Structure 1
């Protein structure tokens, strides 16, 4: 099969198609998304070697469950050991022995075929296009914020970032708080956000400080920017990962009693 393969450099090559293990499905990939994590992998993130890509839609072509054959599916990316305490709590994203599709120890979706455990798969409704279905994974990550923290219309909320994930987060939060503000850098992306009915600009306005800031810049400088605008005792939710260690002003966090909350993968059913 054709695949994009990364080993210090990204190249298009021909590799053997994966063979599903018991309990897995073989999936023909019909669409794949490009995430900032994929771009960080090209810089050495997670020391990944193999086929990247974790946002996908595809068709099941081989599976022990005959009812899944020819079904369009998307898939949760974390594959746990099914034995540890995290897996027993349905938190495979925190399994210490997990593999992660296209990120850690598991070839991903930038290929003609991939394999995933059947339990990771979710069927796609007929009224959803493949190009839209690839957004289920990042949309689930956006929804995870609402599982971690209670937000209301009374909160002053700012999303820092104007990429795909930031836009999804802003749209989700806009449902419960129509005054969510997005701070971005690129005028064309700012305009796209405004076209979606969101408040967005290159500079914050309205509130000098914010109760809650979601950092989704994909840039190591994002946390510093969030600390600049967060209110004392406010909460910063971190969504970005990078191929490098970053310096954080711990004094500002301690003195202003800032809550820092990491947020990663989410529930596909909610998305």
Structure 2
């Protein structure tokens, strides 16, 4: 059995004086700090952001652990990170909605605005998306990062920059729940009690779901979910998906089945159980990414005439709604922050997330 990765000596390589210190992935378990030039504003609608907090996502850890996610392969050194918030440091000549000093949540995917998905209003499906920390594009774990002004969301005074960094995973959850069209009074089962699954439960509750049930194979996660944003939890047994689904329905008084099932785990048993736990005419949304191909209970999906949807990142209005949900007190993201590390100890955050410690770890940025 291979030994777990150990922190590298990258901390010793930090220059004393820096312009745009960045945390760079060179290869599997091989990272370094690199001082790069401060990015220039190339478009009059762009802004320069001093990044203050960045959350660690499973995709960041996957690139660090494996050097690739599906077709996206790290071939050149790449700055990691995409869950960030910061302070506006410079604005382009055409920027009207932001000024220097504004605190913003950063939407890290820049769409081309020209392809058919973009023009039809689904820019998250852009054919030429430039997404932070997805090869070949650099991420946000740097002192400075450039974005168009309309991909920055001004934070109300009541929201901290730490909370701002969690607008990215919350926007993922908002998109998933909007895909499911959750409405007041519905029953929702969420598979996976990691950060996105927990946030899906919180958003479903905010949307008025009367029952929100979290499913996970780790009891500590379920314990947290129960006190965070669910009406109940479910620990699957060593049984078939149909048997677990029947027990889940019985224990939670779901009658013939749940209205909505959301998978935020990507695990094949969860997918199967999610299909079987739904009532006839129910809605299933796949938000978690697991293996590229799995077996699927297609007969059950057809005979129940289920609505099946995928969900990818976030689209129009999702970030704005995420900020609103938190500022209005309808979703709490502070409770998910279980650790913060200094920028020069960034690799330690990856090790802790890989080890399953806590829920959401943040890396502090470098103030101007």
One fold, TM greater than 0.5?
yes
In the TM superposition, residue 217 of structure 1 has moved relative to its aligned partner by 1.5
Partner of 2:212: 180
Q: Distance in 2 between matches of 1:242 and 1:132?
A: 27
Deviations 1:218-256 (A, max 9, x none): 435432232232333322111112464333333333343
Partner of 2:22: 2
8 Å contact kept, 1:215–1:222: yes
Partner of 1:59: 87
Q: Distance in 2 between matches of 1:29 and 1:78?
A: 16
TM-score, normalisation: structure 1: 0.88
Q: Per the alignment, in what secondary structure is the counterpart of residue 190 of structure 1?
A: helix
Q: Map of 1:159-238 to 2, 5 A cutoff?
A: 159-175=190-206, 176-196=208-228, 198-203=230-235, 204=248, 205-206=251-252, 207=254, 209-238=257-286
Q: Distance in 1 between matches of 2:112 and 2:123?
A: 8
Q: Per the alignment, in what secondary structure is the counterpart of residue 270 of structure 1?
A: helix
Partner of 2:159: 128
Q: Per the alignment, in what secondary structure is the counterpart of residue 106 of structure 1?
A: coil
Poorly superposed stretches of 4+, deviation over 4 Å: none
Q: Structure 1 residues 144 and 162, CA, compared in 2 at 3 Å: closer, same or farther?
A: same
8 Å contact kept, 1:54–1:108: yes
In the TM superposition, residue 90 of structure 1 has moved relative to its aligned partner by 3.9
Q: Distance in 1 between matches of 2:309 and 2:55?
A: 26
Q: Structure 1 residues 171 and 186, CA, compared in 2 at 3 Å: closer, same or farther?
A: same
Q: How many residues in Structure 1 have an aligned counterpart in Structure 2?
A: 271
Which segment is superposed worse, 61-70 or 72-81?
A: 61-70
8 Å contact kept, 1:155–1:211: yes
Q: Distance in 1 between matches of 2:304 and 2:146?
A: 47
TM-score, normalisation: structure 2: 0.66
Cα RMSD of the aligned pairs, angstroms, is: 2.4
Is 1:78 matched with 2:116?
no
Partner of 1:35: 57
Q: Per the alignment, in what secondary structure is the counterpart of residue 320 of structure 2?
A: coil
Q: 1:19 aligns with which of 39, 48, 70?
A: 39
Q: Per the alignment, in what secondary structure is the counterpart of residue 157 of structure 1?
A: strand
Q: Per the alignment, in what secondary structure is the counterpart of residue 5 of structure 1?
A: strand
Is 1:119 matched with 2:141?
no
Q: Structure 1 residues 212 and 182, CA, compared in 2 at 3 Å: closer, same or farther?
A: same
Q: Distance in 1 between matches of 2:142 and 2:270?
A: 32
Q: Per the alignment, in what secondary structure is the counterpart of residue 180 of structure 1?
A: strand
Q: Structure 1 residues 152 and 12, CA, compared in 2 at 3 Å: closer, same or farther?
A: same
Deviations 1:145-203 (A, max 9, x none): 45334333443221111111111111111130132111122222222222225223233
Is 1:141 matched with 2:169?
no
Q: Distance in 1 between matches of 2:291 and 2:99?
A: 37
Greater C-alpha radius of gyration: 2
Q: Distance in 1 between matches of 2:258 and 2:33?
A: 48
8 Å contact kept, 1:142–1:169: yes
Q: Distance in 2 between matches of 1:10 and 1:126?
A: 39
Partner of 2:12: none
Is 1:269 matched with 2:301?
no
In the TM superposition, residue 141 of structure 1 has moved relative to its aligned partner by 2.0
